[in-house]
């Protein structure tokens, strides 16, 4: 369903999680099991969405269980565990900072025992990156750009040089009094990511990346 080298051209992915959601208060073993189940649904995707994303979560649960027991999760508490499972090298997006919009609602189901979650993800069809060979290259202090380490050395050097020039020009424009949004017009469409959001990815300096090409 989500497998393939690139996301579909309609800009919308849908998948179903045949498990009851967990709240933030669930124990670590249950959270790990829930996360691993979601990862198993999305890990065969050979790409990561790299632009702005909208996420819509619909939880199917029996009305009596929601109204007359305290055993089911709160709607607002199920969002974070689910997003955590969708991000990172085995997910379908890099980091949840990409999520511009998120909604979560429950809808009454006729089955008391069976619960499931339907997730819809909306995105720009052109904003994705292949997982194979993906690294993040340092372009400014604590800022990293996604990059393919499978490129030949000469094109790689040219692209890294372009990144340097874009950042230098942007910073120069800001120093001369231009606001951030005006200055960013010289930047790549592909966003950068802060180091603190990339702990599960491979991070390299330009020197490390180019040095490996000489081996």
The whole-number pLDDT of residue 63 equals 92
Over the chain, what is the mean pLDDT?
90
Which pLDDT band, with edges at 50, 70 and 90, does 215 fall under? Answer: low
Q: Over the stretch 99-119, which tens digit does the pLDDT of each residue have?
A: 999 999 999 999 998 999 999
Which pLDDT band, with edges at 50, 70 and 90, does 4 fall under? Answer: confident
Partnered with residue 128 across adjacent β-strands are 49
181, 90, 189: which is closest to 146 by C-alpha? 189
Residue 198 in contact with residue 146, Cβ under 8 Å?
no
Which range, of 77-91, 97-111, 191-205, averages the lowest pLDDT?
77-91
Could you give all domains of the chain from N- to C-terminal order, each with its CATH number?
A: 12-129 (3.30.1330.70), 134-213 (no CATH)
- Residue owning tokens 């269980």: 65
Q: What percent of the chain has pLDDT over 70?
A: 98
The whole-number pLDDT of residue 1 equals 55
Q: Where are the beta strands (DSSP E) in the chain?
A: 12-17, 47-49, 53-62, 99-109, 116-123, 128-130, 134-140, 143-148, 193-194, 203-204
193, 167, 17, 174: which is closest to 97 by C-alpha? 193
Q: What is the pTM of this model?
A: 0.89
Q: Over the stretch 139-158, which tens digit does the pLDDT of each residue have?
A: 999 999 999 999 898 988 99
199, 169, 201, 196: which is closest to 185 by C-alpha? 169
The whole-number pLDDT of residue 125 equals 93
Better pLDDT: 174 or 80? 174
Q: What is the C-alpha to C-alpha distance for residues 50 and 21, in angstroms, rounded to an integer?
A: 26
The whole-number pLDDT of residue 72 equals 77
Residue 161 in contact with residue 58, Cβ under 8 Å?
no
Reduce the DSSP state of residue 33 to 3 states and report it.
helix
Q: What is the DSSP secondary structure assignment for residue 142, as one 8-state letter?
A: T
203, 10, 208: which is closest to 94 by C-alpha? 203
Q: Over the stretch 28-80, which tens digit does the pLDDT of each residue have?
A: 888 888 889 999 999 899 999 999 999 999 999 999 988 888 877 788 878 88
Residue 55 in contact with residue 121, Cβ under 8 Å?
yes
């Amino acid at each position: 369903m989500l497998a393939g080298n690139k996301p579909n051209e309609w800009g919308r992915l849908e998948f179903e999680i045949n498990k009851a959601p967990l709240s933030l208060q669930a124990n670590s073993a249950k959270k790990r099991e829930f996360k691993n189940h979601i990862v198993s649904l999305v890990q065969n995707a050979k790409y990561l969405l790299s632009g702005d994303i909208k996420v819509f979560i619909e939880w199917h649960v029996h009305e009596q269980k929601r109204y007359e027991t305290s055993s089911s999760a709160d709607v607002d508490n199920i969002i974070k565990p689910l997003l955590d499972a969708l991000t990172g090298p085995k997910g379908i997006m890099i980091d949840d900072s990409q999520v511009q919009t998120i909604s979560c609602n429950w809808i009454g189901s006729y089955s008391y025992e069976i619960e499931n979650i339907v997730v819809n993800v909306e995105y720009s069809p052109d904003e994705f990156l292949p997982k194979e060979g993906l690294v993040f290259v340092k372009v400014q202090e604590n800022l990293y750009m996604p990059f393919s380490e499978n490129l030949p050395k000469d094109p790689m050097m040219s692209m890294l040089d372009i990144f340097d020039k874009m950042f230098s020009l942007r910073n120069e424009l800001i120093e001369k009094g231009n606001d951030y949004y005006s200055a960013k017009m010289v930047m790549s469409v592909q966003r950068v990511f802060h180091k603190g959001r990339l702990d599960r990815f491979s991070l390299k300096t330009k020197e490390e990346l180019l040095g490996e090409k000489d081996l």
